[in-house]
């Protein structure tokens, strides 16, 4: 084992990892994954789907993990009151390896029809998915869409390897080597809390500038970049304040959200938080201009042209630069 791998895998010591094993030929590699996690000091709880039981036995994982293995949603469980909730709650991370096209599709759709998918829906722990399947299945637009959707929701997708697959086809879709998967999981925990004690201020989304009580000028920003940055900063130990224009995205766990609409509202919120911030990341799409006059009532349709006069919005970033003291 290389020194760097030793350093990273040490970050797994004491971590509770829920390992979801699904029904692909690569399920046999999950045995080594469980073994490596256990040797790294992690507590491993295995959930097997019905399909996985066709490739590897429950006994194998029970002996490797030294923990009960969950295979049946409806079996009597002496260890937990409601098992999928207990597993979802205790997990420091959930790892699906191999992740078949089927389980990825169910996770993307929010289907919860077995213990693994129910646990995925109930957990707030980070989820890692290592896809493994036939190349054509992996490259299918539906699978790629599901992977994008899951990644957008915060799933960590472990890129599959290329090579000769069990079906005899050469291409992308192989489960990465167990050592590489465990190393990626360890690296996640090893990055640790380097931002602990720091306050990170993130702006996200677009601003909207009203024309009248009904209409406004806006842009197509979703806020996705800013929300992802806020999630990463929180995961690295920071106190995070997210100042967001209108967005449909869920607020990352543990992040304090300040919702605004206009550029001037965003300026006020940013200046209020700025003196105590250590790091400021401006990912918002702030409107440069706003209507000079906002009508009190809905503007009626009229003949001929309609002229809209705009005036400049404040340059928040420039103003922060003038006020900057210790902030990055």
| Position 3 pLDDT exceeds 90 | no
Average pLDDT over residues 279-296: 97
**Out of 3.30.43.10, 3.40.1190.20, 3.30.1330.120, 3.40.50.1950, which CATH number does the structure's domain 3-190 have?**
3.40.50.1950
Catalytic center residues:
167
Q: Return the pLDDT at 4.
A: 39
Pairwise CA distance, residues 171 & 95, whole Å = 24
Q: Return the pLDDT at 77.
A: 54
Pairwise CA distance, residues 85 & 70, whole Å = 13
Evaluate if pTM is beyond 0.75. Answer: no
Segment 154-207, tens digit of pLDDT? 899 999 987 766 666 777 888 999 999 999 999 888 776 789 899 999 999 999
| Position 275 pLDDT exceeds 90 | yes
Q: Return the pLDDT at 9.
A: 61
Segment 135-150, tens digit of pLDDT? 889 999 999 999 999 9
Average pLDDT over residues 99-118: 95
Confidence of residue 218 (pLDDT cuts 50, 70, 90): very high
pLDDT above 90 as % of the chain? 76
Q: Return the pLDDT at 326.
A: 94
| Position 295 pLDDT exceeds 90 | yes
| Position 210 pLDDT exceeds 70 | yes
Q: Considering only 91-100, 103-112, 152-161, 164-173, which range has the smallest mean pLDDT? A: 164-173
Q: Return the pLDDT at 205.
A: 97
68-98 CB burial, b ≥16 within 10 A, e <16? bbbbebeeebeeeeebbebbbeebbbbbbbb
Q: Return the pLDDT at 192.
A: 67
CB 93 within 8 A of CB 11: no
Segment 121-138, tens digit of pLDDT? 999 999 999 999 988 899
What is the average pLDDT value for the chain, to the nearest integer?
A: 90
Q: Return the pLDDT at 226.
A: 97
Any idea which fold 199-323 has?
Rossmann fold (3.40.50)
Enter the tokens of residue 266.
């965003």
3-state secondary structure the chain: CCHHHHHHHHHHCCCEEEEEECCCCCHHHHHHHHHHHHHCCCEEEEEECCCHHHCCCHHHHHHHHCCCCECCCCCCCCCCCCHHHHHHHHCCEEEEEEECHHHHHHHHHCCCCCHHHHHHHHCCCCEEEEECCCHHHHHCHHHHHHHHHHHHCCCEECCCEEEECCCCCEEEEECCCHHHHHHHHHHHHHCCCCCCCCEEEEEECECCEECCCCCEECCCCCCHHHHHHHHHHHHCCCEEEEEECCCCCCCCCCCEEEECCCHHHHHHHHHHHHHHCCEEEECCECCCEEECCCCCCCCCCCCCCCCCCEEECCCHHHHHHHHCCCCC
Q: For the chain, which residues make up each domain, given as ranges? A: 3-190, 199-323
| Position 1 pLDDT exceeds 80 | no
Domains 3-190 and 199-323 share a fold: yes
């Amino acid at each position: 084992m290389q020194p760097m791998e030793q350093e990273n895998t040490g970050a797994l010591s004491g971590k509770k990892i829920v390992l979801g094993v699904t029904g692909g030929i690569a399920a046999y590699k999950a045995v080594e994954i469980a073994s490596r996690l256990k040797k790294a000091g992690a507590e491993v709880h295995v959930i097997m789907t019905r399909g996985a039981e066709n490739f590897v036995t429950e006994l194998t994982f029970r002996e490797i993990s030294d923990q009960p293995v969950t295979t049946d949603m409806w079996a009597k469980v002496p260890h937990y009151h409601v098992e999928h909730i207990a597993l979802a709650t205790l997990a420091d991370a959930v790892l699906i390896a191999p992740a078949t096209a089927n389980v990825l599709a169910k996770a993307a759709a929010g289907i919860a029809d077995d213990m693994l998918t129910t646990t995925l829906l109930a957990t707030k722990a980070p989820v890692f998915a290592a896809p493994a399947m036939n190349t054509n299945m992996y490259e299918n637009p539906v699978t790629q869409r599901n992977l994008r959707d899951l990644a957008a929701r915060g799933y960590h997708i472990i890129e599959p390897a290329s090579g000769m697959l069990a079906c005899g086809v050469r291409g992308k879709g192989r489960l990465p080597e167990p050592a590489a998967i465990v190393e990626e999981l360890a690296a996640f925990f090893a990055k640790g809390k380097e931002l602990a004690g720091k306050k990170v201020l993130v702006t996200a989304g677009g601003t909207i500038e009203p024309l009248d009580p009904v209409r406004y000028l806006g842009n197509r920003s979703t806020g996705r970049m800013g929300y992802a940055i806020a999630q990463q900063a929180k995961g690295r130990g920071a106190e995070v304040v997210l100042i967001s224009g209108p967005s449909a995205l869920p607020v990352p766990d543990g992040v304090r959200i300040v919702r605004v609409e206009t550029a001037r509202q965003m300026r006020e919120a940013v200046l209020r938080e700025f003196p105590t911030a250590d790091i400021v990341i401006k990912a918002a799409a702030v409107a440069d201009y706003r209507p000079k006059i906002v009508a009190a009532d809905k503007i009626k349709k009229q003949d001929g042209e309609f002229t809209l006069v705009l005036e400049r919005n404040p340059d928040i970033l420039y103003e922060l630069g003038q006020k900057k003291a210790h902030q990055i």
